[in-house]
Structure 1
Amino acid sequence: YIGDLIQKTEVELLKTPNLGKKSLTEIKEVLAQRGLSLGMKLENWPPAGVASHGMLG
């Protein structure tokens, strides 16, 4: 989920296997196009009915 992703920091994402600086830069660019960034804090996440799958950590 995008809500899980944007709450991660750059350091956390770089610990992901096979995710390097180029991929990180691409992720940040796509998020910025949508007015989002890494390290954002979301209240009430995950929303009711959406279970966190732990896909990113």
Structure 2
Amino acid sequence: MGGRESLFGGEKWGYIDKSSSWVIKPMFDMAFSFRDGRAKVKINGQERIIDKTGMFLN
């Protein structure tokens, strides 16, 4: 998991750290757990892969 948990923030999903602070603000239609520093997300109908900073890898 790498210290990031997905959390529904009203209308979108984002990621929080262990202190419950947003580290990747809610912007995703769906957000999956991190594994090996990467997570699958859905945004605008597309599945994408992000790193721990929220940068898209594909």
TM-score normalised by L of structure 1? 0.20
Higher relative contact order (CA 8 A, sep 6+): 1
Q: Which structure's CA Rg is the greater one?
A: 1
Q: Which has the higher helix share?
A: 1
Higher share of residues assigned strand: 2
